[in-house]
Amino acid sequence: MSDKEIDTNVVTAVGEIHSPLVFSHEMYGEGFYTFEINVARLSDYNDILPITVSERIMMDFNMDVGTTVKVEGQLRSYNKYVDGKNKLILTIFARELSLCEEETVKNPNQIVLDGYICKPPGYRSTPFGREITDILIAVNRPYNKSDYIPCIAWGRNARFSEKLKVGDHLKIWGRVQSRTYQKRLSDDETATRVAYEVSISKMEISEDNN
């Protein structure tokens, strides 16, 4: 993996293991597992984030629920066929894993992305007057692959990003967040679902933008 690939998609998350390891898949004889970590925010709310990790880099660690770990890697996306539709799935792909004391970490949830807007930004305001813009960013990977990452901008950043166009080249700093919502299945049935996105704290247009 090149330094450029690392620079365009960097995630660091520190938190307690929230769920047991579950086998995900095998690639070239190497097994991969998934689990969730509970990452604290400054508010009382916590983010429950999905992690994908190779058996190779976790074999020397205690992976019991409640263990505090530091995950360094990339936010990856892939499509999964669910209920007759393609669904965008996000996971933090761990490249390094270490045991950690959560209290010693100043910022337990941070991400840097360098990518391109791939659909028109969607500006809206909440019933309480808070301004929000939804942005979908494509971050390139080698071998003609890309990760498609939903991002959300607030306030001044929302007003700024409302005017951006498809193809604009952005650099984004923020955190990965989880959000629960109610999906209506029928007139009398709803289900609670979880969405993952990047909450933007800072953004800028790249110097090579057209």
* Host domain of residue 140: 112-205
Together in a domain, 88 and 50: yes
For the record, the structure tokens of 8 come out as 């365009």
Residue 61, pLDDT score: 85
Residue at which a domain ends, from 111, 127, 145: 111
For 143-161, the pLDDT digits (tens) are 889 999 999 999 999 998 9
For 105-117, the pLDDT digits (tens) are 788 999 999 999 9
Cβ pair 130, 181 in contact under 8 A: no
pTM: 0.90
Together in a domain, 92 and 8: yes
Residue 137, pLDDT score: 96
Residue at which a domain ends, from 111, 126, 158: 111
Quote the number of domains for the chain.
2
**Pairing mode of beta strands 68-82, 131-141:** unpaired
- For 205, what's the count of Cα atoms within 13 Å in the CB-facing half-sphere? 12
Query: What band does 163 get if pLDDT is binned at 50, 70 and 90?
Result: confident
Together in a domain, 137 and 170: yes
Residue 177, pLDDT score: 95
Residue 103, pLDDT score: 61
- pLDDT at position 141 over 60: yes
Kindly state the percentage of the chain with pLDDT values over 90. Answer: 65
CATH number of the domain that residue 57 is part of:
2.40.50.140
Return the bridge partners of 75, or none: 92
- pLDDT at position 3 over 80: no
Kindly state the percentage of the chain with pLDDT values over 70. Answer: 94
Together in a domain, 55 and 87: yes
Residue 209, pLDDT score: 67
For the record, the structure tokens of 193 come out as 């679902």
Q: How large is the average pLDDT for residues 66-92?
A: 89
Query: What band does 85 get if pLDDT is binned at 50, 70 and 90?
Result: confident
Residue 132, pLDDT score: 94
Asked if residue 210 belongs to a domain, the reply is no
